[in-house]
Amino acid sequence: MHKRKIRMGMIGGGLEGFIGATHRKAAFLDGHIDLVCGAFSSNAQTCIETGASLYLEEKRCYASYSAMIKEEALLPCDIRMDFVSIVTPNHLHYPMAKLALEYGFHVMCDKPLCFEIKEAEELERLCKKNNLIFGLTHAYTSYPMVKQIRKMIEDKKLGKIRKVIVEYPQGWLSTSLEDTNHKQAAWRMNPSLAGISCCMADIGTHCLNLLEYTTQLEVQYVCADLSTYGKNRSLDDDGNVLLRLNEEVKGILHASQISVGEENNLNIRIYGDLASISWSQMTPNTLAFKQQDKIAQIYSAGASYLEDRAKYNTRLPSGHPEGLLEAFANLYQNFAFCIQDKINNKSSSKEKLDFPGIKEGIRGMLFIEACVHNSKSGQKWTKV
Amino acid sequence: MHKRKIRMGMIGGGLEGFIGATHRKAAFLDGHIDLVCGAFSSNAQTCIETGASLYLEEKRCYASYSAMIKEEALLPCDIRMDFVSIVTPNHLHYPMAKLALEYGFHVMCDKPLCFEIKEAEELERLCKKNNLIFGLTHAYTSYPMVKQIRKMIEDKKLGKIRKVIVEYPQGWLSTSLEDTNHKQAAWRMNPSLAGISCCMADIGTHCLNLLEYTTQLEVQYVCADLSTYGKNRSLDDDGNVLLRLNEEVKGILHASQISVGEENNLNIRIYGDLASISWSQMTPNTLAFKQQDKIAQIYSAGASYLEDRAKYNTRLPSGHPEGLLEAFANLYQNFAFCIQDKINNKSSSKEKLDFPGIKEGIRGMLFIEACVHNSKSGQKWTKV
Amino acid sequence: MHKRKIRMGMIGGGLEGFIGATHRKAAFLDGHIDLVCGAFSSNAQTCIETGASLYLEEKRCYASYSAMIKEEALLPCDIRMDFVSIVTPNHLHYPMAKLALEYGFHVMCDKPLCFEIKEAEELERLCKKNNLIFGLTHAYTSYPMVKQIRKMIEDKKLGKIRKVIVEYPQGWLSTSLEDTNHKQAAWRMNPSLAGISCCMADIGTHCLNLLEYTTQLEVQYVCADLSTYGKNRSLDDDGNVLLRLNEEVKGILHASQISVGEENNLNIRIYGDLASISWSQMTPNTLAFKQQDKIAQIYSAGASYLEDRAKYNTRLPSGHPEGLLEAFANLYQNFAFCIQDKINNKSSSKEKLDFPGIKEGIRGMLFIEACVHNSKSGQKWTKV
Amino acid sequence: MHKRKIRMGMIGGGLEGFIGATHRKAAFLDGHIDLVCGAFSSNAQTCIETGASLYLEEKRCYASYSAMIKEEALLPCDIRMDFVSIVTPNHLHYPMAKLALEYGFHVMCDKPLCFEIKEAEELERLCKKNNLIFGLTHAYTSYPMVKQIRKMIEDKKLGKIRKVIVEYPQGWLSTSLEDTNHKQAAWRMNPSLAGISCCMADIGTHCLNLLEYTTQLEVQYVCADLSTYGKNRSLDDDGNVLLRLNEEVKGILHASQISVGEENNLNIRIYGDLASISWSQMTPNTLAFKQQDKIAQIYSAGASYLEDRAKYNTRLPSGHPEGLLEAFANLYQNFAFCIQDKINNKSSSKEKLDFPGIKEGIRGMLFIEACVHNSKSGQKWTKV
């Protein structure tokens, strides 16, 4: 078997943004992915400058995503990109992903996936038809300790799950940044670019993904109280949600962008009848495992006693902290490995295939819809 | 002015229990209260043994609470007890408190206050009529850092409050302890002794008290999802509640007795438009104060920069940890000081009067009722 | 067997100080000790006011310690004090303790014990001669988790001890408080009141006691670098010490009163060949137990899995924090129980006798001397 | 100005090791460095396999470092490597670095630098002569919060420094791993490969670098107690050191490889007369800043209030943790930027030049020597 580096083209991610650089560093970290082209900005100058700063040839800095997809498709197969990474505002995910898939490129797409379920289904159809891989960047579930939790729950270390609490408070939108030329804030608060929700779509879906990934349960009903604290906003900037999952599990999910002083405090607590687990994104290299009336246990990333799936997604021995870029890089690396396997007509292992895709994207979309709907209604529970 | 030690009689609190000893140590700690008599148990032998272990004369170890109240009332005023401390299961709070008040004794009563609002109102009437003081042992709000939070919010350090999250997970009832001869568990899960709720009544009310004490807001509506995970239980052992408070504040309150591995993890987070505060009972000597994009601040109990109300309820310089007994002792000490003031026909300062009473008891009762009612109904919001 | 409350007389501890109140609260907490008299201050008015605030009769507020000891000795045995608690500056410990012992009173004395080894030996002789109990208030070793550590090490849970690190940084003397009318600072920096050392005597000895109590090893050699950072000081306000213990154990001890921003950060880490333990006074209710390449374990005070000696010195279930006053109260309670046993001609259990006394006082004095001597010399190691 | 990616050749870092991959990921992360060749192992097969896994052409996987250096020097300047990264055992650093410099290649070298001061001076001479850049991978000082500390101290935020404590406990050599085919352990404990010290050379030097980098002070005298706990070892696996720095600063440095249960707990505390700072490598994204009797402050990496030098070395907004690879990548990125500047005949900014080099390497070597010498002698203080 011959392996080669995988070639990435990026859509969005111009210099002035933050998310493009994050994706690129995550893609570069392990050395399996090269950036070969980009349509970084609708502003041609920005696009070329971004490309130059990334050591790209000007001819592969495209003026539009469609130009990039169509022209790359014409290049020899040992030169053209293998996949596109879509890091644009939400409303563009669908047309971009669709075109890329139609032209035979694998897709890594930022979340939330798209606006309509039928769009998601179309993407799914195209993937199957063209034998393509689709990744969705719910990067938080690529932390090794999150994978560890999933395995421990799968192995019934917690017994029967009873209750789950997942939180994602941030404070960055506590003032109306969107009125101050803050690009990120502006599009997120614009329904035509962001969709029907800001907070629930942007970070509530991370909560959902973290919850469903670790427990392998599904949220079936929500009772939501979404809020818009900022002035002149038409979308939610905060939401409190009661959950009913399958197997009679209950829970709470809350996400906020107006929780002043909170940085990026995604965390989860899962209680079974035998034990509980808690994990927090801001201290991602440990997790607490507790049984009633027993000595509490702290697992440490990088340790020899961890599950293989956690180890496989860790680079450093315990005590050498890894962070979000490494989690993000796990997602990209596993995605790249799956493309390498495709190239070699090899089926990919469960360990490599362990990243979110269209299925998780649809879950997020259903969740957003159910929350927005329930919050407006007088109804107590709304089916997801 | 002449001050004398205040004399306590205790109802309940026999040797085998845990809560009686806690109250006594809290009452003793600062040296202003003497235990002079008790009706510690309906079992006469237990009562006498308990009294003996507490160095009481046998003649002041009474066979029943009514005997104690009636006989003490006949003793000379320089000997008889000043107040009763009621540390029994919930169903007895009302008759005991009522009799004590009727006979002219101040009352310190465990929470929740009683079962019916009209009972609470009767106690209130008796207090006023007989010029008596009533304390309710929501001890957690007597921690100095909780008082600090109240003052900081009062002073608008957080700006306008937007969102509040208060949690109280415990794990001790994750298995059916009530079937194993565990006295505490048994009465708490027995509706005729505990009332209409276990978890919400026992610890949900602590959440409410903490929330309303610190913010000086009122919970107006609840949307509750109470659960009974343990087998053969008729009362809740867990509850998740969405909150609507006055001044358009929203929140989440959840309490649990089945959250395996949790010890006594009461905590609160309050978000205003200027700043947020978080505090946790298990690390009670610090609180975090955060403003957006500013350096986070950690306040430390005992420090010179704290508000007077916090200092007044602290004994040790910063770095020397205080715990729950000291918080509990603040409640007893302030209560005793108010009795001393009564004796001296002096009005008590706001600092001394800073302990929960019947008003807080009624709030707790209304909250329990609203949660139980809402949880059973299909209704989204129920008024408290 | 008949048990009665134990009667305490206090020497020192006038109202304006902090340490007297700490001792009193610790003595009161568990309800086995009554304060019956005091010589609280050399200022007669302060003495009487202090006594009044403590509800003492004026006739038992003595003008001097010798008056108190001599007059109490003449009182009937069911009235007179059982023991004196000495909470004065260091230079008075010896004459006060000596007189008390000569008159047949048990003694609880603040540390360090005295200035000269022969003084300590005289106290020891008097204790034996008059069958009296002597307690020394190294209160930090009365925390339940410290007792837990001792037992775990005794049981070889750490294997063979290799290395020990004990620290006690404070910051309160980082400026020259002693020049600002600060009484505590003034006497501690005065060699005729404090002895040959400030920092090492005041808190270095706590480190030593913590180290020797938990490991049951002895510091045999020190290599010390004491410092005096504050202007116009003649005593040390900081010290760094390398240690050699028996059984080829090595270690580091450092204490400081000029470590700005540190509150009272006493902590210890003990490394064996099988496992290590760490504990910190400012979060006293947990300890960490770690084995190489194993999941870290966090023990929690109040838990059912702890050793009896830890449980015996704990009041509350896990999750309800206890603090320094409770540790201090363990010392007083065990001391009082031993006096009760004496009264009943009963020998005391190992659990009750578990508090520091003259032996620990001598260890501290030897340590102070060795550090001061070594620091001044060019010698690398000085025998303790 | 035209910028191009910088080309790296690696010496050492074969597949089975851990440190080679760490360097590579750090070099790749930001996308400014390509790996173009390697002499990964003295085993030819390992070398080729390593190269293949890194997508290198076989012709640029060299059988020896000298072959690589000599043959690369003959390649056209738009193809040949720009610098070598040396990640071998210590004894090879000098000959490899020397040859690379002689042939005109910049050098990034693992620490400690070499064995003899005159070797270091020869490297320095070559750098100057050939206008080359030398980086030494004391990566811990490339954490953004460490740079923040340096700037705060430079700006006198701590006032006059008084005392410094720097620790680096690990536990991985608590058993004799070197006897179990553990390659890393084996060479580190072999004096002919590692030099005169194991623990002090491997991690003690990291302590020194952290201390001297942040404070800009120099350790002038050491009083060391090095230990060898493991059986059959000839080098130290632990060391406790008292420090005397210039400007009358004192300190403690201890490092250990036998502190069971410790992972990689490098940390530093710096006390000035105005304030103190503490930072720990295992939670690298925060630092604590404390003034006496003031509210403690917690700085968070990625925040807007940080110093430029910290921001310049951070990729993500606060709340998104970065780890050791990002710190390591800062070192490589700044190194690469300086090479780009050289190529463009541009002088590099202070921000870019902020990585350790030969000077820091010499400091480390002097420190190792002084510690080993002092520990064997009866002398109290040895000049560094």
- All residues at 6 or more sequence positions from A291 whose CB lies less than 8 Å from its CB, including other chains: A274, A275, B260, B261
User: Which chain C residues are closer than 8 Å to A300 by Cβ?
Assistant: 295-296
Q: Do D295 and B294 touch (CB under 8 A)?
A: no
Of C293, C298, C303, the CB nearest to A304: C293
Give the pLDDT band (50/70/90) at residue B15. confident
Neighbours of A233 (CB within 10 A): 17
Q: What is the mean pLDDT of residues A241-246?
A: 98
Ordered DSSP codes for D37-67: EEE--SSHHHHHHHHHHTT--GGGB-SSHHH
Q: What residue has token string 């946790």?
A: B280
Q: For C350-359, what is each residue's pLDDT tens digit?
A: 888 899 999 9
CB distance from C297 to chain A under 8 Å?
A: yes
Position B1 scores a pLDDT of 52
Q: Which three-class secondary structure string do you get for chain C?
A: CCCCCEEEEEECCCCCCCHHHHHHHHHHCCCCEEEEEEECCCCHHHHHHHHHHCCCCHHHECCCHHHHHHHHHHCCCCCCCCEEEECCCHHHHHHHHHHHHHCCCEEEECCCCCCCHHHHHHHHHHHHHHCCCEEECCHHHHCHHHHHHHHHHHCCCCCCEEEEEEEEECCCCCCCHHHCCCHHHHHHCCHHHHCCCCHHHHHHHHHHHHHHHHHCCCEEEEEEEEECCCCCCCCCCEEEEEEEEHHHCEEEEEEECCCCCCCCCCEEEEEECCEEEEEECCCCCEEEEEECCCCEEEEECCCCCCCHHHHHCCCCCCCCCCCHHHHHHHHHHHHHHHHHHHHCCCCCCCCCCCCCCHHHHHHHHHHHHHHHHHHHCCECCEEC
Distance CA(A43)–CA(A15), nearest Å, equals 11
Position A17 scores a pLDDT of 79
Q: Count CB pairs under 8 A between chains B and D.
A: 34
Position A183 scores a pLDDT of 86
Distance CA(D338)–CA(D372), nearest Å, equals 36
Question: How many angstroms separate the Cα of C205 from the Cα of each of C213, C366, D34?
Answer: 12, 10, 58
Q: What is the mean pLDDT of residues D196-225?
A: 98
The sign of the CA dihedral B152, B153, B158, B164 is positive
Neighbours of C248 (CB within 10 A): 11
Instruction: Take residue C323 and report the two structure tokens written for it.
Output: 């603090």
Distance CA(C263)–CA(A286), nearest Å, equals 28
- All residues at 6 or more sequence positions from D166 whose CB lies less than 8 Å from its CB, including other chains: D207, D208, D210, D211, D251, D252, D253, D266, D267, D268, D269
Pick from D245, D292, D373 the residue to mutate for testing the C interface (most C CBs within 10 Å).
Answer: D292
Q: What is the mean pLDDT of residues D114-125?
A: 95
Distance CA(C113)–CA(C137), nearest Å, equals 9
CB distance from D271 to chain C under 8 Å?
A: yes
| DSSP H or E segment with residue D203 | none
Q: Are D280 and D265 in contact (CB under 8 A)?
A: yes
Q: Tell me: pLDDT of B163 over 80.
A: yes
Give the pLDDT band (50/70/90) at residue C16. confident
| ipTM tops the 0.85 cut | yes
Average pLDDT in chain B? 96
Q: Do A304 and C297 touch (CB under 8 A)?
A: no
DSSP 3-state assignment of D125?
helix
Q: Do the bridges between strand C275-280 and strand B250-256 make them parallel or antiparallel, or are there none, so unpaired?
A: unpaired
Q: For B20-75, what is each residue's pLDDT tens digit?
A: 999 999 999 999 999 999 999 999 999 999 999 999 999 999 999 999 999 999 99
Residues of chain D above pLDDT 70, percent: 99
Nearest 5°: the CA angle D41, D43, D46 is 70
Q: What is the mean pLDDT of residues A176-188?
A: 89
Quick one: which of D298, D351, D375, D338 has its CA closest to D82?
D338
Q: Tell me: pLDDT of B311 over 80.
A: yes
Letter for the amino acid at D298? Answer: I
pLDDT higher for D76 or A183? D76
User: What is the total residue count of chain B?
Assistant: 384
Quick one: which of A351, A315, A311, A312 has its CA closest to A335?
A351
User: Which chain B residues are closer than 8 Å to C300 by Cβ?
Assistant: 263
- Please give the sequence-ordered ranges of beta strands (E in DSSP) within chain D, or none if there are none: 6-11, 33-39, 83-86, 106-109, 134-136, 161-169, 219-227, 238-245, 250-256, 267-272, 275-280, 286-291, 296-300, 382-383
Give the pLDDT band (50/70/90) at residue C105. very high
Q: Do B305 and D298 touch (CB under 8 A)?
A: no
Residue A258 Cα, gap to closest chain B Cα (Å): 8
Instruction: Take residue C180 and report the two structure tokens written for it.
Output: 């600002």
Of B45-49, B376-380, C179-183, D338-342, minimum mean pLDDT range: C179-183
CB distance from C264 to chain B under 8 Å?
A: yes
Give the pLDDT band (50/70/90) at residue C114. very high
- Closest chain C CA to residue B32: C54
Q: Are D73 and D90 in contact (CB under 8 A)?
A: no
Position C1 scores a pLDDT of 52
Q: What residue has token string 């980082």?
A: C174
- Closest chain D CA to residue A171: D319
Torsion of CA C288, C289, C290, C296, to 10 degrees: -60
Give the pLDDT band (50/70/90) at residue D183. confident
Q: Is the peptide bond before B317 cis (omega within 30 degrees of 0)?
A: no
Position A184 scores a pLDDT of 86
Q: Do D55 and A4 touch (CB under 8 A)?
A: yes
Q: Are A297 and A290 in contact (CB under 8 A)?
A: yes
Distance CA(D18)–CA(D1), nearest Å, equals 37
Position C183 scores a pLDDT of 86
Average pLDDT in chain C? 96
What DSSP designation does A355 have? S
Quick one: which of C117, C172, C144, C134 has its CA closest to C330?
C144
Q: What residue has token string 């993000």?
A: A328
Q: For A260-316, what is each residue's pLDDT tens digit?
A: 999 999 999 999 999 999 999 999 999 999 999 999 999 999 999 999 999 999 999
Q: Do C252 and D254 touch (CB under 8 A)?
A: yes
Q: Are D86 and D12 in contact (CB under 8 A)?
A: yes
Q: Tell me: pLDDT of B2 over 70.
A: no
Ordered DSSP codes for B19-47: HHHHHHHHHHTTS-EEEEEEE--SSHHHH
Distance CA(D125)–CA(D109), nearest Å, equals 16
Nearest 5°: the CA angle B141, B143, B148 is 90
Residue A190 Cα, gap to closest chain B Cα (Å): 22
Instruction: Take residue B298 and report the two structure tokens written for it.
Output: 């950690």
Q: For D11-61, what is each residue's pLDDT tens digit?
A: 999 987 788 999 999 999 999 999 999 999 999 999 999 999 999 999 999
Q: Tell me: pLDDT of B376 over 90.
A: yes
Give the pLDDT band (50/70/90) at residue A233. very high
Q: What is the mean pLDDT of residues C108-133?
A: 96
Instruction: Take residue B382 and report the two structure tokens written for it.
Output: 């129920």
DSSP 3-state assignment of A326?
helix
- All residues at 6 or more sequence positions from A125 whose CB lies less than 8 Å from its CB, including other chains: none
What DSSP designation does A363 have? H
Distance CA(D223)–CA(C252), nearest Å, equals 12
Q: For B116-154, what is each residue's pLDDT tens digit?
A: 999 999 999 999 999 999 999 999 999 999 999 999 999
Ordered DSSP codes for A117-160: HHHHHHHHHHHHHHT--EEE--GGGGSHHHHHHHHHHHTTTT-S
Q: Is the peptide bond before A112 cis (omega within 30 degrees of 0)?
A: yes
Of C3, C30, C284, the CB nearest to B25: C30
Quick one: which of D190, D165, D197 has its CA closest to D369?
D197
Give the pLDDT band (50/70/90) at residue C174. very high
pTM of the model as a whole? 0.97
Quick one: which of D110, D9, D133 has its CA closest to D61?
D9
User: Which chain B residues are closer than 8 Å to A274 by Cβ?
Assistant: 260
Give the pLDDT band (50/70/90) at residue D337. very high
Q: Do D29 and A29 touch (CB under 8 A)?
A: yes
Q: Where are the alpha helices (DSSP H) in B155-304?
A: 183-188, 191-194, 199, 205-215
Q: Tell me: pLDDT of D292 over 60.
A: yes
Q: Tell me: pLDDT of C190 over 70.
A: yes
Question: How many angstroms separate the Cα of A120 from the Cα of each of A88, A115, A200, A221?
Answer: 17, 8, 18, 21
Average pLDDT in chain D? 96
Residue A287: beta bridge partners?
A299
Position A18 scores a pLDDT of 82
Q: Do C259 and D163 touch (CB under 8 A)?
A: yes
Query: Counting Cβ atoms within 10 Å, is residue D248 exposed (0-12), middle (13-18) or buried (19+)?
Result: exposed
Position C2 scores a pLDDT of 67
Position B339 scores a pLDDT of 97
Neighbours of B115 (CB within 10 A): 19
- Closest chain B CA to residue A288: B261
Q: Do C304 and A289 touch (CB under 8 A)?
A: no
